[in-house]
Amino acid sequence: MRMVVVDLGEIDARDCEPVAAALEQFTPSAEALRPGLHAFGARGPSRCFGGERALVELVAQATADSTPSARSVGVGVADGFFAAGLAARLARVSERTEMRSPVAAQPSTERSPTAQSPAVSLSLFTAVLVVPPGQGRQFLAGLPLTSLSDPVSPLYSDEKGTEVLLDVLWRLGIRTLGDLAALSESDMLGRFGWPGLLAYRLVCGLDDRPQQVKPAPTSSAVEAEIDPPAERIETVAFTARALADDMVSRLARDGLDCVSIGITAESDSGHASNRRWRHEFRFNAADIVDRVRWQLEGWHRSPDRPTGPVTLIRIAPCVVSPADGRQLGMWGAKSDADERAARALARVQGLLGAEAVTVPRLAGGRRPADIGRRVPYDAAEASGAGGYSATALDGGRGKKSRGRKPPRASRTVTTGARKAGADKATEAVEAPWPGRLPPPQPAVVLERPEPITVTDCEGNTVTVGGRGEASAAPWQVTDTKGRSRMVVAWAGPWPLDERWWRQSARRRQARFQLVLDDGSAHLCVLESGRWQREATYD
């Protein structure tokens, strides 16, 4: 199936509505994968607009006209969604790097389309790349192996599994998609199971799930009237969450996965927004809620924005495919308690906004605020992060306290997870990070560090010289409100010079641990002459 994919790169949900509107003049069934990545079938529209080539140029022009700022647009056409998506990506990137260079202007259709063939620049910021029918496999052969984890790939949503797969393939000496296509199908299935087979079919230019996709049963559409009408997007999203749960579980009961949905929102003022969204793999409830949020954000910014609150939301599956029967792991399945917590958090998000709920995750870094971070709950849930934090914890501890008693409990989890593969996050956490302060870590890390004054016994501010020595022993600490405490014990200064290779990102500080006369202990930092209290060992 010939597909057209329009790629705008990373774009805000609010800015992609004009693009969706522009594509509507070519086809009623344009689908968005995410803001900035739109797709539709080429066969129908190309008959109406004078052939594929003409259609693509019109689409590229319309897209470029409707994008808010000077951003590069890539349009790709190929057999199947995967190849078309990569073609669009390639067109956009090559357009950006070779902007206005004469080589880029040569038409590519005469040559065989390989990864090196430049896309055709139409205007300053637009480029198209058409892969002739039947040549998808040759086109893909020249692309690097990492293209399999591109957002247009069906393997994209299983981030962890794909990373393991790509890692193993890389170590087997496979560098391009062509290398992979040269293997045999049965070997790929035997060694890597279902994901391996999918990857193999993709690189051979066989469209993902070609014949099995079919229109959805109309009965599985869900809708809800919102009463009282919702002024805020969060309120709609909360309602949508329940609808999405309902729809996904209903489809699951029939053994179906949903790859494309239509979302309709109606407002008090009689306006309606109608968009189709496609998922590279399959929708779960959280994905659907995201799409609802994106669509509403865009709608509220568009020229025909609703003047009244939202009164109705409808979610209909457009295209479904048989569920492939991937089973949840014996320990990966969600328990009742997990579901209960997820429901409570969805309710809180409805009250306070999506960004109010975060989950703690370990990350690499030297300062306390870098070691432990807060990740938006939605993002963490989508990536299905599980297990790595336990690994990270023990890994970090093991490194820091070599020779001490091995940590308890999750030891087995650690070795198991480590064997499982190269998890980049875990790697960053387990890296030694020289310069990091040893445990204990401060229990309170201030969101906004508090400015303080640290003086020596003569009343002069304590400074740290170029050789990393304190000018005098810290004697007294005064906060912004003028309250002072005596220092009873101190240690430091420990210098930290991060990212010295880039002037704008460089951070140079001297850290002290100060114990005050009320028994509290603090991590205080001197950075470009200013003292700050960064954390407290509470």
Partner 1 sequence: MEGALATLLPEGGIRRGTAVAVDGHGSMTLAMALAAEASRRGSWVAAVGMADLGVAALAERGVDLDRWALVDLPGAARTGSLAADVLGAVVGGFDLVLLGPEIRVAGATARRLLARMREHGTSLVCVLGGTSADITAGLVPEARLTVTQTQWTGIDDGHGRLLARRAEVTVGGRGAASRPRRLLMWLPSTDGRVACAEPVKDSALGDGHEDVTERRAS
Binding site for partner 1 (CB under 8 A): 337-338, 340-345, 347-348, 351-352, 356-362, 368, 371-374, 377, 385-387, 389-390, 392-393, 396-397, 401, 404-405, 407-409, 437-447, 470, 473, 489-491, 513, 515, 518-521, 535, 537-538
Cα 366-372-378 angle, rounded to 5 deg = 140
Residue placing its CB nearer to partner 1 in the complex, 224 or 390: 390
**Closest to 175 (Cα-Cα) out of 229, 115, 100:** 115
Coil/strand/helix, residue 43: helix
- Please tell me the distance from the alpha carbon of residue 42 to that of residue 62, in angstroms, as a whole number: 16
Residue placing its CB nearer to partner 1 in the complex, 318 or 516: 516
Q: Considering the complex, what minimum distance in angstroms separates the CB of residue 292 from partner 1? A: 20
Q: Considering the complex, what minimum distance in angstroms separates the CB of residue 217 from partner 1? A: 33
Residue placing its CB nearer to partner 1 in the complex, 43 or 343: 343
> Kind of pairing, strands 73-79 and 126-130?
parallel
In the numeric block, which tokens belong to residue 189?
A: 């299935």
The sign one gets for the Cα dihedral 462, 465, 467, 472 is: negative
Residue placing its CB nearer to partner 1 in the complex, 99 or 489: 489
Residue placing its CB nearer to partner 1 in the complex, 233 or 392: 392
> Kind of pairing, strands 31-34 and 272-278?
parallel
- Please tell me the distance from the alpha carbon of residue 37 to that of residue 156, in angstroms, as a whole number: 14
Q: Considering the complex, what minimum distance in angstroms separates the CB of residue 436 from partner 1? A: 10
Largest CA distance in the chain: 87
Would you say 511 and 437 are in contact if contact means Cβ atoms under 8 Å apart?
Answer: yes
- Please tell me the distance from the alpha carbon of residue 485 to that of residue 497, in angstroms, as a whole number: 29
Q: Considering the complex, what minimum distance in angstroms separates the CB of residue 296 from partner 1? A: 22
Residue placing its CB nearer to partner 1 in the complex, 314 or 367: 367
Residue 177 — φ and ψ, nearest 5°? -65, -30
- Please tell me the distance from the alpha carbon of residue 460 to that of residue 456, in angstroms, as a whole number: 6
Cis bond upstream, residue 493 (ω within 30) = yes
Amino acid in position 419: K
Q: Considering the complex, what minimum distance in angstroms separates the CB of residue 339 from partner 1? A: 9
Q: Considering the complex, what minimum distance in angstroms separates the CB of residue 308 from partner 1? A: 25
Residue placing its CB nearer to partner 1 in the complex, 130 or 470: 470
Q: Considering the complex, what minimum distance in angstroms separates the CB of residue 343 from partner 1? A: 6
Q: Considering the complex, what minimum distance in angstroms separates the CB of residue 388 from partner 1? A: 9
Residue 91 — φ and ψ, nearest 5°? -60, -45
Residue placing its CB nearer to partner 1 in the complex, 174 or 348: 348
